[in-house]
Structure 1
Amino acid sequence: MLRTLCCVILLIVQRDTESTRVIGGWRTVLLGEDVDLSCRLIETDEELEQITWQKSTLEGTQNHNFMLINPKGVNKFISPNGLTGRVQFIGNPSENLGSIRITAVRLLDEGTFTCIFSVFPSGAYNTEIPLTVLDPPQSVNITLSEASKATVFLCVADSNPHPNYTWSRVVQPWPGSSVRAEGDKLHLLSLSSELNGLYVCQASNPYGRATGSLNVHISSETSAACWVLLVVILCLTVAAAALIWYQCKYGQFPW
């Protein structure tokens, strides 16, 4: 009878311990705004010893403590943590609520935050709270690609999530097959004056958009010079091929 009673007590204790957990949730915030990271320990009457907050973010990928809260709600900040002056405890230890608020969120704050409740006698319970920082495109830069032999312009904008790019030509119609828009790239397939005009690149994501412009001007002299250069290169290529053929056939050059 005593053995059966002990087993029942152990089963009840084990069941209560297994149901004890910390609840939280995924959080998303716009760059520069404030965000509340909420966590609560449920299904326990054990004595709270400490609440610990950890983070692993773009600023520092190694998980580390940045805030400790004792049962009386007294906070201890651990530096350096990247959150100096921007984090505050908004929970209530008596209600097993360990929530914090981060103000003026930065892109470097994106990552995973961990809320840990230490209770006696069973130990520590935790939950991970992923934080995503959304950033609309702020500015657009258009540069000449150095990685391409052709004339290719790159449209660059920083945002989260990554933006979609749309190219257009102001006032004038799109110059047919002479120009190809391909995502963030604008390919000028021929250098002629018909390409002249103002081109606009718009970078957008669900949270905003920004534009940049490119003024293309190719003079007729430049276009003619390009054709002359092309003809000269072609003539030199033909002459070189003829000399190689003559040398291979007669074993010597014609001079």
Structure 2
Amino acid sequence: MKLPVEPVSKSAIAETGVKVIGHDTAVVYGENATLLCQLTETDEDADVTRIIWKKKTQETAEENTFFSIRPGHKTEHSNGLGDRVQFIGNFAEKNGSIQLLRMRLLDDGIYTCIFNLFAVGTFETDINVTVFARPAINVRGEVPVAGFTEATLMSCFASNARPAAEVIWRLGDLENSLTTEINYTVNSDGTVTVVSYLLGVPFKHLNKKNVQCVVKHNTLRDELVLNYAINIHYPPESVVIIPDSLTNIKEFQCKVDSNPEPTSYNWTRVNKSDPYYEGKKLPVQNLTPDFNGLYICHASNQYGSSVGSLYVNVHTESNATCWSLFEAYTELREKLDNRGESKRIDKVSPDVLEFLLEFLRPFYQAQRELEGNQCPTLNLVVLWHERLKRHCREAFHQESRYRIASFTSGGEPAVEPATKRSKTVVAEFEEWVNVPLNETVDEVHQYISRNHDMEEEQDLLVLYHGHKALLLKECGMLGVEG
């Protein structure tokens, strides 16, 4: 590769007007260098008796002859370059150009081209030959652990270059949060190694952020850009358990935010002493009520660990799976455990959460059925009224009190469950449970007999009966009993 060096003409002019013209040149290490040398402004009958080449280089500080040419293209080598020197000129045309093969760094220096003219004298010119060395470029990523102390995030190397390469970083949005530091090392052969360090506090949010190392050098036509992603290591910080499907669950997967990926996954089931399963995925052979329970995934790498939990509740009567995530609870408990304050949530029990889920399920089902916005659902109001009233009967409240009392008193119930109907009920459900149950009375009649305190046009049953035909027609239900 011939480098784009500004040509500088070298000439020696005697009183006779004779010139020796040459040009400075630059070459990349290992490539060939062409040294042009031409004698001009001479008489046609002027005889050249000899062309001599001398050099003073990085290898030898003293000038010495290494090549000569005589008439008939007879050449003579001396002082070690041997066949690395080739004559490419034309003696008869007074062209003494040569080519130096496989240039070394030690070949950098000053080369002198000399013409001997018979009965006239010698004429010469100096040619500067520069040998460049391409940099060896690479980026080395460090693996700092997330923390609050500044560390080296990565290093960009431009090694063994001549002259020294220019190394810069393009950081984009990180320009104001990261810094750089450059180190230069001069090697024994005269080349220079440049290392640019990218420094910053290894916060987790820097992980996978892209930066660019840019290298510029005489031997490169264009700047060289190396893309690299910052790599910050940190322990598992969040564990989420998700099913592989919402309709046909075959496994639960433990998704973990960590770097590197966890090396260990352990599944446990609450109230089960032995580890339940090992691996990133918890297989589900058959999703039945036997699978119900609170499952915890414990994930860890070399820097720490974290847990996530999943409560599974399968109901065969609707062939549906109800499941919910308790990441907030488990994460809070872990943090409080680390601070020695876990007693602040000791009164939160997975068993009580399961019990409350069962209690609230009918209310959720009622909401789903009564929220229709195209067809009337008024005919379902009384039915759900009776169903939820039975659901909230006093015996259920006594069972609630018994379970909660068993948990808060360390397993001993504060009050035994009542076997008979009590006259005192929980205030929140008083409106429901104080209405006497009468299985023989028509449900619509029971609704009307409540004597609702409302205007006639606000009464739902009056509205329904007054517009029954229109509502059923709109919904395509004429001829169907409402």
Question: Which of the five TM-score ranges fits, normalised by the shorter chain?
Answer: 0.5 to 0.7
1:207 to partner: Cα distance: 2.5
How far apart are the structure 2 equivalents of 1:40 and 1:134?
26
2:232 counterpart letter in structure 1: H
Aligned to 1:156: 157
1:37 to partner: Cα distance: 1.2
How far apart are the structure 2 equivalents of 1:141 and 1:58?
31
Does the CA-based 8 Å contact 2:206-2:230 persist in structure 1? no
Question: In structure 1, which of residues 190, 195, 202 is the aligned counterpart of residue 201 of structure 2?
Answer: 190
How many residues are treated as equivalent by the alignment?
199
Which region of structure 1 is more displaced relative to structure 2, 183-192 or 91-100? Answer: 183-192
Cα 1:18/1:112, change in 2 over 3 Å = same
Higher relative contact order (CA 8 A, sep 6+): 1
- Higher fraction of strand: 1
TM-score (norm 1): 0.61
Aligned to 1:120: 118
1:159 to partner: Cα distance: 3.5
RMSD over equivalenced CA pairs, Å: 3.6
Does the CA-based 8 Å contact 2:28-2:131 persist in structure 1? yes
Does the CA-based 8 Å contact 2:50-2:115 persist in structure 1? yes
1:35-69 per-position Cα deviation (integer Å, ceiling 9, x unaligned): 32111222334432321111223333432211111
Question: In structure 2, which of residues 166, 169, 173 is the aligned counterpart of residue 167 of structure 1?
Answer: 169
Structure 2: gaps (5+ residues): 1-12, 143-149, 183-194, 237-302, 304-482
1:154-173 per-position Cα deviation (integer Å, ceiling 9, x unaligned): 5331434543323246xxx6
Q: Secondary structure, in 3 states, of the residue corresponding to 2:23? A: coil
How far apart are the structure 1 equivalents of 2:151 and 2:80?
47
Does the CA-based 8 Å contact 2:151-2:199 persist in structure 1? yes
Aligned to 1:79: 79
1:94 to partner: Cα distance: 2.0
2:180 counterpart letter in structure 1: A
How far apart are the structure 2 equivalents of 1:159 and 1:187?
21
Q: Secondary structure, in 3 states, of the residue corresponding to 1:50? A: strand
Aligned to 2:221: 207
2:65 matched to 1:53? no
1:178-223 per-position Cα deviation (integer Å, ceiling 9, x unaligned): 31135653342434434444654232334253648585435479x9
> Greater CA radius of gyration, 1 or 2?
2
1:118 to partner: Cα distance: 1.9
Structure 1: gaps (5+ residues): 1-14, 145-149, 224-255
1:74 to partner: Cα distance: 0.9
Percentage of pairs with the same residue: 29
1:103-155 per-position Cα deviation (integer Å, ceiling 9, x unaligned): 333444332211011223332211011223344444335599xxxxx745653
TM-score (norm 2): 0.35
Question: In structure 2, which of residues 215, 232, 238 is the aligned counterpart of residue 217 of structure 1?
Answer: 232
2:196 counterpart letter in structure 1: K
